[in-house]
Amino acid sequence: MHQTRILPGRSTGVLALIGAALIAAIDEIVFHQILAWHHFYDRSTTELGLVSDGLLHTAEVVGLAAGLVLYADLRRRNALSVPHAWAGLFLGLGGFQLFDGLVNHKVLRVHQVRYGVDTLPYDFVWSGVGVALSAVGVGLAVRAKRART
Amino acid sequence: MTAPGFVDWLLGTTVVLAAAAYLRAAASLRRRGDTWPRRRDVAFAAGGFAFLAALLVPVPGGPFTAHMAQHVVLAMAAPLLLVLGRPVTLMLRVAPSSVRRGVLAVAHSRAAVVLLFPPLAAVLDVGGLWLLYRTSLASATHHDEWLRSAVQLHVVLAGLLFTFVVCQLDPVRRRWNVVWRGLTLLGAGAAHAILAKTLHAWPPPGTNFTAADVQGGAQIMYYGGDLVELALAAALARQWYVRSGRARRFASRGFG
């Protein structure tokens, strides 16, 4: 028989990985390619920003593939905790959005949300979405924890 | 894109001969009753076809954009398809024992063990690209046909080596676990993406491509690299999933 022990921590972590990779892919497809708001490279990026962008960008690609098989593995082992998985997904989505808004756009200046406009309202909305998604994630995590105890 | 030179004909002919030998070997294996999944034939043939097409079909756009598009296929996409066909495994299954001993001697040699160390393969591959585009090497290849041939050969062989090492589908002496190979893929992919971004702002020194041409090429390098890296990561992930499932079934039957 397969083991049927539920793994809540792993369920949260794996879905957080998928969430972060998903929001990064949405950013790349919608804001870089379709709307063309973000610039590929705007020359004001710091060297550290260039390195961190390259590493994170590749981590998203590798993380998406890794996250999906780790999820399939949890399902196969009957080890997935669904409430924790939802919490993890929102924590990943929100955490990455917040990191992107604060660290990538502002500290490392990888690129801005939009060019030729006052970026302040855009930055507020960008990081605000990150805060909101993270808050949902924290709420779901608390509920998942209570439901188990 | 420059006209195909001597090395391009050499590479093209080698790939055609390899694909023909592969399909013949797979057919003879099936005739004697062994199984050899059809998808491996399809992968290898598609890899050979993509390789040949990239050598012969002119790509629209400026010379740098065309050069980049060609490199993404020759050194990344085609090697992945060729490696997914597991050509060394096939050769070991069909070749006469004298050839088989020769192949195994090479595969198990000390030099092969060193070359197949994942981080070294990554440095030979992506490190070579940094050398090519961030020094005056790229501009030097425009004046020297032999240098251009040597660079083309290196880029293709290093791409094949890197893909072979990351996928590790064929039998080799020293095997590296999925963490080693995954982290190598991560590091190499990051170095590739960073190089593409720097090219977007600063063309290879000594060259006089237009800004639009260089930026187009840089984006092909960045996003083309992404697609192949995603496929490589998927191949690695699938391998882990299949192997860990097999190991668990084995253990749960009480053999563990």
Alpha helix ranges (H) inside B168-210: 178-201
B201 closest CB neighbour out of A43, A57, A73: A43
The radius of gyration of chain B's CA atoms, rounded to the nearest angstrom, is: 20
Token representation of residue A145:
């924890």
The predicted model gives B93-112 an average pLDDT of 89
Q: What is the pLDDT of residue B208?
A: 87
Instruction: Report the distance separating Cα B169 and Cα B40, nearest Å.
Output: 12
Tell me which of A1, A41, A47, A71 to substitute to probe the interface with B (most B C-beta atoms closer than 10 Å).
A41
Whole-number pLDDT of residue B108:
85
> How far is residue A71's CA from residue A10's CA, in Å, rounded to a whole number?
9
Q: Where are the domains of chain B?
A: 6-242
Residue, of B60 and B154, whose pLDDT is higher: B154
Question: What pLDDT shows up at residue B47?
Answer: 98
pLDDT mean over A129-143: 92
Dmax (CA) of chain A: 62
Residue A3's pLDDT is 55
* Residue B169: predicted pLDDT: 92
Question: How many angstroms separate the CA of residue B138 from the nearest CA in chain A?
Answer: 22
User: Which DSSP symbol is given to B85?
Assistant: T
Q: Any CB–CB contact under 8 A between B248 and chain A?
A: yes
Q: Does B193 sit within 8 Å of A53, measured CB to CB?
A: yes
**Residue-level pLDDT at B13:** 95
Select the residue from A33, A58, A75 to test the B interface by mutation, using most B Cβ atoms within 10 A.
A58
ipTM: 0.85
Are B64 and B214 contacting, i.e. CB atoms less than 8 angstroms apart? yes
In this predicted structure, the answer to whether residue A120 has a pLDDT above a threshold of 90 is no
B178 contacts chain A (CB < 8 A): no
Q: How far apart are CA B110 and CA B56, in angstroms?
A: 37
Q: What is the dihedral of CA B136, B137, B139, B143, to 10 degrees?
A: 130
Contacts with A68 from chain B: Cβ below 8 Å: 237
Min CA distance, B228 vs chain A (Å)?
10
Sign of CA pseudo-dihedral B175, B176, B182, B186: negative
Least CB-CB distance to B182: which of A62, A68, A72? A62
pLDDT in tens, B2-27: 667 889 999 999 999 999 999 999 99
Say which residue, A117 or B245, is predicted with more confidence. B245
Taking Cα atoms as reference points, which of B191, B231, B121 lies closest to residue A61?
B231
Which one, of A13, A1, A24, lies nearest residue A130 by Cα?
A24
CA-based nearest distance A128→chain B, Å: 28
CB contact under 8 A, A65 and B197: no
Tell me if B240 and A59 make a contact (CB, 8 A cut-off).
no
Please write the tens of the pLDDT for every residue from B164-203: 999 999 888 888 999 999 999 999 999 999 999 999 888 9
Query: Measured between CB atoms, which of A45, A61, A77 is closest to B226?
Result: A61
The whole-number pLDDT of residue B256 equals 46
What is the residue whose two structure tokens read 């060394």? B88
Q: Once rounded to an integer, what is the mean pLDDT over residues B34-46?
A: 97
**What percent of chain B lies above the pLDDT cut of 90?**
74
> What is the per-residue burial (b if ≥16 Cβ within 10 Å, else e) of B160-196?
bbbbbbbbbbbebeeebeeebbbebbbbbbbbbbbbb
Q: How far off is chain B from A110, nearest CA to CA, in Å?
A: 11
Average pLDDT in chain B: 92
What percent of chain A lies above the pLDDT cut of 90?
46
Chain A's closest residue to B193, CA to CA, is A54
Mean pLDDT of A51-79: 92
Q: Give the distance from residue A8's alpha carbon to the nearest chain B alpha carbon, in angstroms.
A: 20
Best residue of B166, B241, B242 to probe chain A, by most A CBs closer than 10 Å = B241
State the angle between helix axes of B145-167 and B6-31 in degrees (0 to 180), rounded to the nearest 10. 30
Q: Which residue has 């260039």 as its token pair?
A: A50
DSSP-H helix ranges across A2-148: 8-26, 47-76, 82-99, 119-148
Q: Is the Cβ pair A41, B241 closer than 8 Å?
A: no
CB contact under 8 A, A61 and B230: yes
- B234·A51 Cβ contact <8 A: no
Give the separation between CA B110 and CA B174, rounded to whole angstroms: 10
Question: In chain B, what residues touch A109 (CB-CB under 8 Å)?
Answer: none
Q: Is the pLDDT at A35 greater than 80, yes or no?
A: no
A17 CA: distance to closest CA in chain B (Å): 14
B194 — contact with chain A (CB < 8 Å)? yes
Confidence of residue A1 (pLDDT cuts 50, 70, 90): very low
CA–CA gap between residue B161 and residue B79 (Å, rounded): 9
